[in-house]
Homo-oligomer: A and B are copies of this chain.
Amino acid sequence: MSYASVVDVLTGKHPVGTTVTVRGWVRTRRDSKAGISFINLHDGSCFDALQAVVANTLSNYSSEVQKLTTGCAVAITGEVAASQGQGQSFELQASDLQVYGWVEDPDTYPMAPKRHSMEYLREYAHLRPRTNITGAVMRVRNCLAQAVHRFFHEHGYLWVSTPIITASDCEGAGEMFRVSTLDLMNLPHKDDGSIDFSQDFFGKEAYLTVSGQLNAETYACALSKVYTFGPTFRAENSNTSRHLSEFWMVEPEVAFADLDQVAGLAEAMLKYVFKAVMEERADDLAFFNQRIDNTVLERLQKMVSSDFVHMDYTDAIDILQNCGEQFEYPVSWGVDLQSEHERYLAEKHVGGPVILKNYPRDIKAFYMRQNDDGKTVAAMDVLAPGIGEIIGGSAREERLDVLDKRLDEMQLPKAEYQWYRDLRRYGTVPHAGFGLGFERLVAYVTGVQNIRDVIPFPRTPKNASY
């Protein structure tokens, strides 16, 4: 007797006639009048459950089998058989069934087998992975994460773990979470009445990082091709379906690369991970396409087979101004584009993925490389049909004099950026990179509307449970 996963039985890894034991949780139980029960067993290894046929000849048939409800944990031993029913090729003819764990009071079991709203499931973040939808999301999420690491590894990039706690707020913007061990009931003060952070754990004010980019640049300027894949944080009081207080970012940083080269890298990476998920998680994608968003498969296919269209910000403004569309937010050169504009460009004007380039410098961060026109920077956004911006990136200003002038203009404290400036003082090189919000990618691939449903335990204003 050997243990088998549901996916291995359903894909024929165990030949008909073999005896195996499958362990998992009951999804449904149906009893026939002929004294046979059909139990659907899931173990997370794939979307489908395995049907086990349990006859009343089992000694515990009436004492246990007939009492099984959704969520009970069991081990079923039996012979693999060709399935009589529709949909599946194999089933299990049970010869033994052991119960590991019952469901206490099935009537109040929060994951009882009925349709639950996403909001309801979010209230039970510790139990929702037992549902079809959250299980499918998490398999897709895993597949995408593995594909991200594989893509960069195969292309010679080193994964770099940039710090989570940081004493430098180097973006100069973005609301941050404070990290501290000070006793709030007994705060140390300096003579001038301000808080004495020299007595805090790190000896100064410390925060949760908003991006690993600046740290990653130090590694790209030594090891050439690196990427981060780790959690980042925003203390914004945004209660939208697109914002999380804690989310995972993928940030490649590439020495000797210009904007077009990282635009090409972004396109190659997206195509690679979309292909991986279509190949490896066809079962889960079929479910999303059928039940959540019937454009999921089509748009993934389109992303993989399209050449991404490159377009200048300035040209995009012309298009948006002359397209005859009524937008909520008016468009003129110099404004930051809204989701409605981005989606118009990708969905209606191009009908496919677009890479917008060369944005006005005044709406972009200090580190972006200035173009020769004196008014734009070498920044890009990748816009995808159905979601809008999915990736943002830029060439980095590698010229010390230009960087310093920009820091001064934006009144950022040069002393705080000494280590960042050092990269430009010692063997500076052109370099570029981008950032991908990982949860937005998972939401895009699955069609799930709210980003809180594609991360196991979402953190948002007023919510850090579990």
A interface vs B, CB < 8 Å? 3, 5, 7, 23-26, 43-45, 71-73, 75, 100-104, 109, 111, 125-127, 129-130, 135, 138-139, 141-142, 145-146, 149, 153, 156, 158-168, 175, 177-182, 184-185, 187, 194-195, 201-204, 206, 208, 215, 218-219, 221-225, 230-231, 233, 235, 237, 245-246, 248, 255-256, 398, 419-420, 422-430, 455-457, 459, 461-466
Contacts and interface: CB of A to CB of B under 8 A. Distances in A.
A163, A230, A424, A465: residue with the most chain B Cβ atoms closer than 10 Å: A163
Contact of A430 (B100, B162, B231, B465): B100
Contacts of A424: 101
A153 to B, nearest CB: 5
A101, A125, A206, A237: residue with the most chain B Cβ atoms closer than 10 Å: A101
A426 B146 contact: no
B175 A177 contact: no
B203 A463 contact: yes
Oligomer copy total: 2
A459 B203 CA distance: 11
A466 B212 CA distance: 10
A465 B205 CA distance: 10
Given A103-B426, A203-B463, 11 more contacts: A23-B256, A44-B222, A73-B428, A127-B422, A129-B218, A138-B160, A142-B158, A160-B456, A161-B248, A165-B246, A202-B463
Contacts of A141: 161
Contacts of A187: 184
A225 B8 CA distance: 14
B158 A138 contact: yes
A175 B179 CA distance: 13
A203 B462 contact: yes
Contacts of A26: 427
A435 B101 CA distance: 26
B201 A235 contact: yes
A465 B166 CA distance: 7
Contacts of A166: 464, 466
20 contacts: A5-B224, A7-B156, A43-B223, A44-B222, A71-B427, A101-B429, A103-B425, A103-B427, A126-B423, A127-B222, A127-B422, A139-B158, A141-B161, A145-B159, A146-B153, A161-B248, A161-B455, A184-B187, A185-B194, A202-B461
